[in-house]
Amino acid sequence: MTAPTNPKIKHSNTDVLIIGAGPSGLMAATWLARAGVPFRIIDKRSNEIFSGQADGLQCRSLEVLKSFSGSTFDMTALDSAWKMGNHMIEMCFWSPDENGQLVRSGRIPDTIPGISRFQQVVIHQGYIEKWFEESIKHFSGNEVHVERPYLPLNISIDETAAEDQDAYAVEVLVKDLSKDNLSQPEQFSAKVANGLYRQFEGDQEKFYANLSADLENDPNANTEDYEVIHCKYVLGSDGAHSWVRKQLGIDMDGETTDFVWGVLDMVPITDFPDIRNRCGIHSKDSGSVMVIPRENDLVRFYIQLKEVDRDPATKTDKAEYTGNVNDKKASTKGRIDRSKITPELILKNAQEIMKPFKLEMTDLHWFTGYQIGQRVSPRFDKLSRVFISGDACHTHSPKAGQGMNVSMMDTFNLGFKLALVCKGLAKLDILKTYESERLGVARDLIAFDHKLSRMFSGKPMIPNSKTLEEGVDMDEFHKAFLKGNEFASGTIVDYADSILVDKSNTEEPDSDGRAFSYFASKVPVGRRLQTNLILAQADGRPYHIVDRLLSDGRFRVLIFPGDVKAHPENLETLNKFDAYLQAKDHFSKKYTPVNALDNSVIDVITIHATNRHDVEIFDFPEFTRPVDFKGRRDYWRLYSGVGPTYHEGDVDAYEAYGIDKKKGAIIIVRPDGYVSKVTEYNLGGLDEVGNYFERFMIPQEGKVLPKRSIDVDDTDRFTKPLLAV
Amino acid sequence: MTAPTNPKIKHSNTDVLIIGAGPSGLMAATWLARAGVPFRIIDKRSNEIFSGQADGLQCRSLEVLKSFSGSTFDMTALDSAWKMGNHMIEMCFWSPDENGQLVRSGRIPDTIPGISRFQQVVIHQGYIEKWFEESIKHFSGNEVHVERPYLPLNISIDETAAEDQDAYAVEVLVKDLSKDNLSQPEQFSAKVANGLYRQFEGDQEKFYANLSADLENDPNANTEDYEVIHCKYVLGSDGAHSWVRKQLGIDMDGETTDFVWGVLDMVPITDFPDIRNRCGIHSKDSGSVMVIPRENDLVRFYIQLKEVDRDPATKTDKAEYTGNVNDKKASTKGRIDRSKITPELILKNAQEIMKPFKLEMTDLHWFTGYQIGQRVSPRFDKLSRVFISGDACHTHSPKAGQGMNVSMMDTFNLGFKLALVCKGLAKLDILKTYESERLGVARDLIAFDHKLSRMFSGKPMIPNSKTLEEGVDMDEFHKAFLKGNEFASGTIVDYADSILVDKSNTEEPDSDGRAFSYFASKVPVGRRLQTNLILAQADGRPYHIVDRLLSDGRFRVLIFPGDVKAHPENLETLNKFDAYLQAKDHFSKKYTPVNALDNSVIDVITIHATNRHDVEIFDFPEFTRPVDFKGRRDYWRLYSGVGPTYHEGDVDAYEAYGIDKKKGAIIIVRPDGYVSKVTEYNLGGLDEVGNYFERFMIPQEGKVLPKRSIDVDDTDRFTKPLLAV
């Protein structure tokens, strides 16, 4: 593909162009808005109708949404998820007893206790997108909103400029469709919103080709609605049928099964007693149902469909179909005819499965049908200039509530890296870690879904029965679910050694793959820092440590000097740190532009292990409580990790992190909350911290922040986006 | 006063007219908007500048703000207070040691542990007013906003119609000032916002008289900006110099002292170590300072002023001045000349008091000065038709952070009563309880402030010194503060026996005045129901019970049937309740309009004492899990009060409320969360509940909701305002 040459077309520049405004694209946009990087986000849809109606928010996603506002920062719309979503407390299993009667066969906590301060909630995807859009406006000072309907037509990378960090190396031709009325996918049923879109896959390429052909060949073409956007980076968050992915020539790997499921969002009228719990229901031989209670009175049902019309032309003869999905042969039975799937058909299947309980529906909100399959993209970027994320990288069955979550986490990983590179704070190299970190997660996800969806779709084994030779053992199924919930929570994602993660000071990985640090024996390096309470030295308020590590683009160096009263030598060490950290050639100053506040890039926080009543703030060196150019003191860099609280019980972050109160430790946390490195508490440890940043940060000596200036006269400075450039 | 007769003036009707849009008026407006009552709210100011800059939110105020949205209802702006406010954790006392040196002499928790799920926070009054205004728009469907600048000119009550519940018995003449530019009080200093308004007290009456005289006497008067509002009720929340109070001819009782204090809101530059804690600082002989750390980096200082210019004409010769404040003689030294109070003067006093610590200021936001006094209005209403609230009823020194809180609680008390009466659900008589309940609180407040402000302003006693004969004993002061914090939390307000509170089934009041129920030995009748966790039978989610008792205008009858598994007879009793509650002549149906949902007026909730895994939802009678006209079941009326939770520890609401798991109990809770009555768990107890409602509720047989219809097709019905008429 080449860029258009018609001289009448307008040209513009932006650092990052995001194509696709679903949760994945919106998360990237939120990061860039928060960090103050110039960007645009376009979507071909003219409104918020969306093809996927996800609803589950996992623990890690809730942690991340919260991290954009913390506990003291301005309230953002993203805080609403935890409040408004339906909290999932318990999962109930139902399966046939010895007589084939449906009985409750088990109960497990829906979220593993202690894994996070949040539990899974369920809330309509439409709310989440709305909250993201509000947050983007909030963080960008109303400068950025989703531009729609905008269609991308052409993308080209100037490969010779790809290594030049400041180059606008990518060109994208886009068309403003607002005058065209082309953008609405047709729906099968006008009466009820549904997910059965008539995809114009086959005609799509021709359609795009025609649009740009006219532009090039017709001297009288109307060029007004076209624009060439020159960007440093492009992100394709444009869904399972990603246009960007196709432009990069990447094919998905994966397979489609013969299992077909329907989905209903409605208010059930039923005497089934667990309808407000998440349930897995295996009937004797009518298939399975999954129940997901939602906000208000809605319940989502995933229902296995027994008899569905299929397209014989898409049938393959292979015993189990595996391979390229562009091959039109879908499975041994053939692709389903989605136009035959109606709410009534789906309900009928549910009624069979849930017998003898009654089930009728009212207030139907949405329905769809799908054939289970798992696909993953083997590559997530091209030349570290064009990236894909979310459904463009991985698709699977929706029942585990993973799709939207993993899609948001893709760009939560990429967003801060793009921001650091666009600002000239970090080297281009860090962008390579996006694929290396997220491709592994996508493959784990596919394997997880592959296993779980087959157990869910299989017939159950009848207890104490020898007549059924095959079948899914329900005890095994419950155990798989419990284990699966750990993965599904999103909290055990583990990033490997890379330019951004240094596992050198760790034990051999344990059976769960956790590489615990020598110096903080309960902190696995490469995973998100689990939160604990710490107490501000200045006012004694208990804070979740993660609320002090907000998603604002900064790295954090957490210094744990131990108990400075019981071990006065630890305080001496801390005093030595003061000079080290003030030195121009050490990390704290070296990577910070001269006109930025001192903790704008790397925020150093000290958490001691002495009861805060036994020490005074002025016992500690200046760097733990510095003053700014006006003499205003920053009181929020010094904490006690231990002690009683008046309202929240006893606190011991040292115990929780496995840090010795005599030896101490230093922990580096990435802007996305993952532990980069743990090292020892001494000057050598500080050198190690410096070496870590040396690998990818760009010295800023003499550099000033280029575009937006930091409002240094702002008393809100400790809570406002400091990295805004 | 008589109503204007000029025939050109426009006339309009509304149920309630609120005059004054400070926190007190806005709280009333929030109630009325939430309950769907027609009302208007006017303010003479053209924008949000306000003369009082309160900042403390006490526990009970936070509970009340939260009660307008709970944990599952739509997020409202009022949720922001707890998040954005500065949490006050610890109070530190500083006073002279034996050598006269300032030392930290004590530390106490700022909020008494266990008294509430919230702790005191500090946030600018401007935010609170903004959140109220947003909530009013939200609840009224954007129909109501504060109308400003509007000046009330004349008020008259038709006394012959005062007893007629449906009569628009009050007329208020108002003038829209938006074309006049008359409304801004002048400030002494244009440079920094301050509270030193030049009150036009003396000229006020003349000014008003002239305005309406023109209107009556001049045949060519411009009548366009005038309006006569006919209303059922008027609320004057118009501040310390209340126009409404003056129209009612009510004089304040009270006194003014010689103590003069200044206030600074600024960012301090200091080496005082407790600057981010609330502090009471008594210097040896330079006076006292109170430190209140606020949101962002701001700190509020209350500073005792030693030398202030006074107006000798206002001096009295009496040893201690006491009496009518309309008497212009203010105190033994005379009224201060407020124009002489500057930020520099206030700071200089603070520097003296806080020696040897350094104190400078930057980012000055606001300042003011005041002479300590306490005043209370002897009456809060006239003919139950015109009411006053907030500063119009009580003024005092601001240091205890009570003014805004008590003012909001005045109208939190009045608002639901007005709503019930305006809707024809309850009799006029309940309005008399406004004065009887709130006048006592106001008097307690005045006594509290009188004691505390004198201890604060007095010289400290030097430890082990016999030279100083008089002085405030610092230990006594700390104890008084700790005890005062209980009162100041707002959680121990106790409403006496009345038409709305029935203390018949209670023990003799204990030493703290608490009348504990026979049947719930830890529930004091007449006080707000302390929250505890309960578990929804349907999904096991732990809820704070108060989040199920939202401020939406409904009474609640909480049925505690005990452990229905251990005591099957308790389940039998519950089954008998079913028929009772379905009967037309019993309270549950009797007071509910025919076209309203069954729990729109009185919401019956059952909380049993059996582990929820040992019983099923369908073991319980229909009224605990009823279906609506579409067959949709309400799952949120049945809870377990006991049992383990996955994420929030063990729950035992029976133990917490002192309810026997064999005997059970029934608790009636008012729409404002106060316990009306506790009775026994049997049919006789239900009769007692009926007798309680009989005293003031109006039978609704055949009545339909008059104005707004309830949207019965709304799946959000369990969280939307049910009382919207």
The mean-pLDDT minimum among A394-398, B291-295, B559-563 falls in: A394-398
B468 pLDDT more than 80: no
A190 CB near a chain B CB, below 8 Å?
no
Contacts of A273 in chain B (CB under 8 A): 616-618
| Residues above pLDDT 90, as percent of chain B | 62
A71 pLDDT more than 50: yes
- Which of B234, B425, B260, B242 shows the shortest CA–CA distance to B335? B260
Domain count of the fold of chain A? 3
- Determine phi and psi for A488, rounding to 5 degrees: -65, -20
Cα end-to-end distance, chain A, whole Å: 34
Strands across the sheet containing A533-536: A542-544, A533-536, A638-640, A602-608, A555-562, A665-669, A675-679
Please tell me whether residues B389 and B475 are part of one structural domain: no
Q: Is residue B513 part of a domain?
A: no
Q: Which of residues 328-357 of A touch B (CB under 8 A)?
A: none
Say if CB A267 and CB A298 are below 8 A apart: yes
For the ranges A54-58, A300-304, A314-318, B679-683, the maximum mean pLDDT occurs at B679-683
pLDDT tens-digit series, residues A591-630: 998 878 888 899 999 999 999 999 999 999 999 999 988 8
**Tokens encoding B624:** 């605990």
The mean-pLDDT minimum among A153-162, A344-353, A569-578, A716-725 falls in: A716-725
User: Which candidate in A45, A148, A294, A556 is catalytic?
Assistant: A294
Element (H, E) at B441: helix B432-457
Check A89 against B119: CB less than 8 A apart. Answer: no
Distance between CA atoms of B705 and B725, rounded to whole angstroms? 6
- Which of B368, B388, B400 shows the shortest CA–CA distance to B24? B388
User: Which candidate in A302, A543, A591, A654 is catalytic?
Assistant: A302
Burial class (CB in 10 A: 0-12, 13-18, 19+), A407: buried
Residues, chain A, total? 725
Q: Which residue has the higher pLDDT, A562 or A400?
A: A562
- What pLDDT does A256 receive? 77
- What pLDDT does A725 receive? 31
Please tell me whether residues A353 and A229 are part of one structural domain: no
Contacts of A84 in chain B (CB under 8 A): 72, 74-75
Say if CB B353 and CB B281 are below 8 A apart: yes
**Mean pLDDT value across residues B692-705:** 90
Q: How far is A717 from chain B (nearest CA, A)?
A: 8
- Which of A20, A32, A25 shows the shortest CA–CA distance to A551? A32
Contacts of B612 in chain A (CB under 8 A): none
Q: Is residue A105 part of a domain?
A: no
Q: In 3-state terms, what secondary structure has residue B431?
A: helix
Give whole-number Cα distances, B721 to A157, B357, B418, in Å.
56, 54, 16
Say if CB A593 and CB B246 are below 8 A apart: no
Q: In 3-state terms, what secondary structure has residue B135?
A: helix
Q: Which of residues 232-251 of B touch A (CB under 8 A)?
A: none
Measure the CA angle with vertex A348, ends A346 and A354; round to 5°.
Answer: 105
Mean pLDDT of chain A: 87
User: Which candidate in A55, A381, A391, A552 is catalytic?
Assistant: A55
CATH number of A644's domain: 3.40.30.20
Please tell me whether residues B205 and B279 are part of one structural domain: no
Domain residues for A544? Answer: 533-694
- Structure letter (DSSP) for residue B685: H
Please tell me whether residues B637 and B545 are part of one structural domain: yes
B435 pLDDT more than 90: yes
Check A79 against B84: CB less than 8 A apart. Answer: no
- The pTM for the full model equals 0.92
Q: Which residues of B belong to the active site?
A: 55, 294, 302, 398
**Tokens encoding A528:** 């998100």
B484 CB near a chain A CB, below 8 Å?
no
Of A84, A271, A627, the CB nearest to B618: A271
Please tell me whether residues A213 and A233 are part of one structural domain: yes
Say if CB A405 and CB A58 are below 8 A apart: yes
Q: In 3-state terms, what secondary structure has residue A347?
A: helix
Q: Is residue A102 part of a domain?
A: no
Give whole-number Cα distances, A709 to A75, A141, A595, A704, B225, in Å.
24, 14, 8, 9, 47
For the ranges B207-211, B406-410, B717-721, the maximum mean pLDDT occurs at B406-410
Contacts of A541 in chain B (CB under 8 A): 87, 89
Distance between CA atoms of B725 and A159, rounded to whole angstroms? 67
What pairs with residue B665 in β-bridges? B560
Distance between CA atoms of B592 and A200, rounded to whole angstroms? 55
**Mean pLDDT value across residues A199-219:** 62
- What pLDDT does A330 receive? 52
Q: Is residue B493 part of a domain?
A: no
Cα end-to-end distance, chain B, whole Å: 34
Distance between CA atoms of B453 and B490, rounded to whole angstroms? 18
Contacts of B718 in chain A (CB under 8 A): 296-297
A360 CB near a chain B CB, below 8 Å?
yes
Check B75 against A80: CB less than 8 A apart. Answer: yes
| Residues above pLDDT 70, as percent of chain A | 84
Q: Which residue has the higher pLDDT, B464 or A547?
A: A547
Check A74 against B90: CB less than 8 A apart. Answer: no
Q: Is residue B428 part of a domain?
A: yes
B183 pLDDT more than 50: no
pLDDT tens-digit series, residues A356-410: 999 999 989 889 888 888 899 999 999 999 999 999 999 988 777 788 999 999 9
Distance between CA atoms of A666 and A686, rounded to whole angstroms? 8
Give whole-number Cα distances, A265 to A193, A298, A347, A443, B257, in Å.
10, 7, 11, 29, 67
CATH number of A164's domain: 3.50.50.60
- Which of B165, B146, B169 shows the shortest CA–CA distance to B156? B169
Distance between CA atoms of A275 and A268, rounded to whole angstroms? 8
Q: In 3-state terms, what secondary structure has residue A32?
A: helix
Check A618 against B719: CB less than 8 A apart. Answer: no
Distance between CA atoms of B40 and B143, rounded to whole angstroms? 10
Neighbours of A484 (CB within 10 A): 18
Which long-range contacts link B620-628 to residues 24+ away (Cβ below 8 Å)? B620/B537, B620/B564, B620/B571, B620/B574, B621/B574, B621/B575, B621/B577, B621/B578, B622/B578, B623/B577, B623/B578, B623/B581, B623/B582, B623/B588, B624/B574, B625/B538, B626/B598, B627/A269, B628/B597, B628/B712, B628/B717
Check B90 against A646: CB less than 8 A apart. Answer: yes
Q: How far is B695 from chain A (nearest CA, A)?
A: 35
Check A74 against B84: CB less than 8 A apart. Answer: yes
Dihedral sign for Cα atoms in the order B115, B118, B124, B126: negative
Say if CB A478 and CB A93 are below 8 A apart: yes
Q: Is residue A521 part of a domain?
A: no
- Which of B89, B270, B74 shows the shortest CA–CA distance to A80? B74
Q: Which of residues 518-577 of A touch B (CB under 8 A)?
A: 536, 538-542
A633 CB near a chain B CB, below 8 Å?
yes
Contacts of B275 in chain A (CB under 8 A): 538, 635
- Which of B493, B496, B456 shows the shortest CA–CA distance to B476? B456
Element (H, E) at B475: helix B474-488
Q: In 3-state terms, what secondary structure has residue B628?
A: coil
Residue of B nearest to A115 (CA): B647
**Mean pLDDT value across residues A559-574:** 98
Query: How would residue B124 be classed by pLDDT, with cut points 50, 70 and 90?
Result: confident
Please tell me whether residues B275 and B331 are part of one structural domain: yes
Of A74, A539, A646, the CB nearest to B276: A539
**Mean pLDDT value across residues B309-321:** 59
Query: How would residue B227 be classed by pLDDT, with cut points 50, 70 and 90?
Result: very high
Please tell me whether residues A550 and A642 are part of one structural domain: yes
Q: Is residue B704 part of a domain?
A: no
Please tell me whether residues B363 and B436 are part of one structural domain: no
Question: Which residue of A92, A275, A646 to mutate against B (max B Cβ within 10 Å)?
Answer: A646
B629 CB near a chain A CB, below 8 Å?
no
Check B541 against A87: CB less than 8 A apart. Answer: yes
A306 CB near a chain B CB, below 8 Å?
no
Residue of A nearest to B73 (CA): A84
Say if CB A705 and CB A725 are below 8 A apart: yes
Check A297 against B632: CB less than 8 A apart. Answer: yes
For the ranges A216-220, A482-486, A555-559, B121-125, the maximum mean pLDDT occurs at A555-559
Distance between CA atoms of B438 and B411, rounded to whole angstroms? 9
Say if CB A34 and CB A136 are below 8 A apart: no
Residue A542 among the catalytic residues: no
CATH number of A473's domain: 3.30.9.10
Please tell me whether residues B281 and B192 are part of one structural domain: no
Distance between CA atoms of A481 and A475, rounded to whole angstroms? 10
A269 CB near a chain B CB, below 8 Å?
yes
**Mean pLDDT value across residues A99-109:** 94
R_g of chain A, CA atoms, integer Å: 27
A477 pLDDT more than 90: no
What pairs with residue B340 in β-bridges? none
Of A71, A269, A536, the CB nearest to B83: A71
Which residues lie closer than 8 Å to A262 by C-beta, 6 or more apart? A302, A303, A305, A341, A345, A346, A349, A367, A368, A369
Q: How far is B258 from chain A (nearest CA, A)?
A: 33
Give whole-number Cα distances, A27 to A14, A236, A409, A418, B392, in Å.
18, 13, 8, 13, 50
Of B297, B613, B647, the CB nearest to A632: B297
Mean pLDDT of chain B: 87
Residues, chain B, total? 725
**Tokens encoding A475:** 């005890």
B719 CB near a chain A CB, below 8 Å?
yes
Please tell me whether residues B474 and B620 are part of one structural domain: no
B79 CB near a chain A CB, below 8 Å?
yes
Check A84 against B90: CB less than 8 A apart. Answer: no
Say if CB A523 and CB A667 are below 8 A apart: yes
What pairs with residue A172 in β-bridges? A155, A229
What ipTM was estimated for this complex?
A: 0.90
- What pLDDT does B242 receive? 95
Check B277 against A540: CB less than 8 A apart. Answer: yes
Q: In 3-state terms, what secondary structure has residue A434?
A: helix
Please tell me whether residues A538 and A593 are part of one structural domain: yes
- One-letter amino acid at B126 equals G
Which residues lie closer than 8 Å to B464 by C-beta, 6 or more apart? B98
Check A715 against B646: CB less than 8 A apart. Answer: no
Residue A398 among the catalytic residues: yes
Please tell me whether residues B301 and B409 are part of one structural domain: no
Check B277 against A111: CB less than 8 A apart. Answer: no
Distance between CA atoms of B644 and A114, rounded to whole angstroms? 15
Of A111, A360, A539, the CB nearest to B293: A539
**Mean pLDDT value across residues A312-328:** 50
A719 CB near a chain B CB, below 8 Å?
yes
- Beta strands (DSSP E) in A352-508 are 359-376, 381-382, 386-388, 394-395
Residue of A nearest to B266 (CA): A715
Neighbours of B609 (CB within 10 A): 26
User: Which residues in A645-677 are b (16+ Cβ under 10 Å) and which e?
Assistant: bbbeeebebbebbbbbbebbbbbbbbbbbbbbb
Q: Is residue A494 part of a domain?
A: no
Element (H, E) at B362: strand B359-376
Query: How would residue A722 be classed by pLDDT, with cut points 50, 70 and 90?
Result: very low
- Determine phi and psi for A664, rounding to 5 degrees: 75, -170
Of B89, B538, B719, the CB nearest to A539: B89
Q: How far is B334 from chain A (nearest CA, A)?
A: 39
Check B296 against A618: CB less than 8 A apart. Answer: no
